[in-house]
Structure 1
Amino acid sequence: GASSCRSLVKRSLWPLPPELMDDDDDPVIAGQRVYGCECIQQMGILLRLPQVAVSTAQVMFHRFYAKRSLRKFDVRYISLGALFLASKVEECPRKVRDILNVHNHIEQRRAGGKEPLDIYSNRYGALKDRLIRAEREILKELGFILYTEHPHKFILNYVKLLTVDEGLMKKLAQHAWNFINDSQRTNVCIKFAPEVICCASIWMAARVLQIKLPSGDNGGPPWWELFNTRKDDMDAVCKRIMALYSQPRAHFVRLEAP
Structure 2
Amino acid sequence: MAANYWASTQYLHWQYSRETLAQMRQKLKDEEKHLNQLFPLPDMRYLSCFFSKLLARLGKNMPVPIRQQALATAQVYLRRFYSKVEIRKTNPYIVITTALYLACKLEECAHHIKNFVNESRALWPSFITASEIAKVGECEFYLISEMSSQMIVHHPYRTLLDLQTPLNLSQDDVSMAWSVINDHYLTDLPLLYPPHVIAIAAIFLALTLRQPSTNAQQPQTATANMYSQASLRKDASDPTITGTTTQQKKSQHLVNWLSESNVNIKAVMECCQEIISLYDLLETYQESVCKEAISRFTRAQGLDK
Unaligned runs of 5+ in 1: 112-116, 118-122
| TM-score of the pair, normalised by structure 2 | 0.67
**Secondary structure in 1 matching 2:86:** coil
Seq. identity, %: 21
Equivalent residues of 1:177, 1:201 under 8 A apart:
yes
Unaligned runs of 5+ in 2: 31-35, 212-246, 299-305
Structure 1 residues 33, 73: closer, same or farther in 2, change over 3 A?
Answer: farther
- Report the counterpart of residue 235 of structure 2 in structure 1: none
- Report the counterpart of residue 162 of structure 1 in structure 2: 167
Equivalences for residues 170-249 of structure 1 within 5 A = 170-210=171-211, 211-212=247-248, 213-215=250-252, 222-225=256-259, 226=261, 228-231=263-266, 232-243=269-280, 245-249=282-286
Equivalent residues of 1:188, 1:240 under 8 A apart:
no
| TM-score of the pair, normalised by structure 1 | 0.78
Residue type of the alignment partner of 2:282: Y
* CA distance, structure 2, for counterparts of residue 155 and residue 192 of structure 1: 15
- Report the counterpart of residue 102 of structure 1 in structure 2: 119
* CA distance, structure 1, for counterparts of residue 274 and residue 44 of structure 2: 18
- Report the counterpart of residue 152 of structure 2 in structure 1: 147
Structure 1 residues 10, 43: closer, same or farther in 2, change over 3 A?
Answer: same
Which of 173-182 and 227-236 deviates more?
227-236
1:29 to 38, 44, 53: 44
RMSD: 3.0
1:7 to 7, 11, 27: 11
* CA distance, structure 2, for counterparts of residue 199 and residue 63 of structure 1: 23
Q: How far 1:245 sits from its partner (Å)? A: 3.5
- Report the counterpart of residue 56 of structure 1 in structure 2: 73
Residue type of the alignment partner of 1:144: S
Residue type of the alignment partner of 2:186: R
Equivalences for residues 108-127 of structure 1 within 5 A = 123-125=129-131, 127=132
**Secondary structure in 2 matching 1:162:** coil
Which of 10-19 and 26-35 deviates more?
10-19
The structure 1 segments of at least 4 consecutive aligned residues displaced by more than 4 Å after TM superposition are 11-15
* CA distance, structure 2, for counterparts of residue 196 and residue 12 of structure 1: 14
Whether 1:134 and 2:151 are equivalent positions in the alignment is no
Residue type of the alignment partner of 1:246: E
Structure 1 residues 65, 173: closer, same or farther in 2, change over 3 A?
Answer: same
Structure 1 residues 124, 198: closer, same or farther in 2, change over 3 A?
Answer: same
* CA distance, structure 2, for counterparts of residue 227 and residue 98 of structure 1: 46
- Report the counterpart of residue 120 of structure 1 in structure 2: none
